[in-house]
Structure 1
């Protein structure tokens, strides 16, 4: 008759394995540990750790207060507005937004250089350029959409 094979599982000492890894860590990760210490020190000096410690200690109070305000109509409206704003931001083209920011920076610089306000003729001349008409077209479309949304 066949004899069963004796099976004895190897016991693993997880604690000893962790201690071995911990002993090797300073040598293997010295640069990362030094950088982590620098970050920790900077956070301590700036008071960030005190802020985090206080927030962790007051977590029940903070959560209770936030949930109380979130349940009010103003809180619900604020959350909905934040979600809508996030949706709008995700639909913006980052390249177009960057170009608009450069144009606004340039316009601000030019505006600061002006000694006196431009004449009506200068304004009309500016408004008739192709780029100005493109911008005015966009703004009138935005205004039309805003007017439609204001109809109840």
Structure 2
């Protein structure tokens, strides 16, 4: 593989450019760091590679790494690109909590986004009930 100019985000969230970095070395370093972080976690475990939800033995462009969260009894497929671009601490926290995107005060209703503070009382109550799991039909 050749050399490339890569942007990297450091621990202080400031980006800096890695010039003339060997792409293969950078990818290997990041994947190794990810694997080590998963191994050090008490609740996460790598379950293997997959492509299109099927087990795979070789890393290819569309590969994903399946990670099991034993605490939440759930599994997530992580794209290689996500591992390369996301700060490791943020990615591990997301895998441990299963909270991937936090967006407060905005929600999607009927195909468009609107701010919650513009809603009437009935719509706000409905959202609160949905979060509590109280929204839905009861047995008939």
- The TM-score bracket by the shorter chain reads under 0.3
Structure with greater helix percent: 1
Structure with greater strand percent: 2
Give TM-score, length-normalised by structure 1.
Answer: 0.26
Give TM-score, length-normalised by structure 2.
Answer: 0.27
Tell which structure's C-alpha radius of gyration is larger.
1
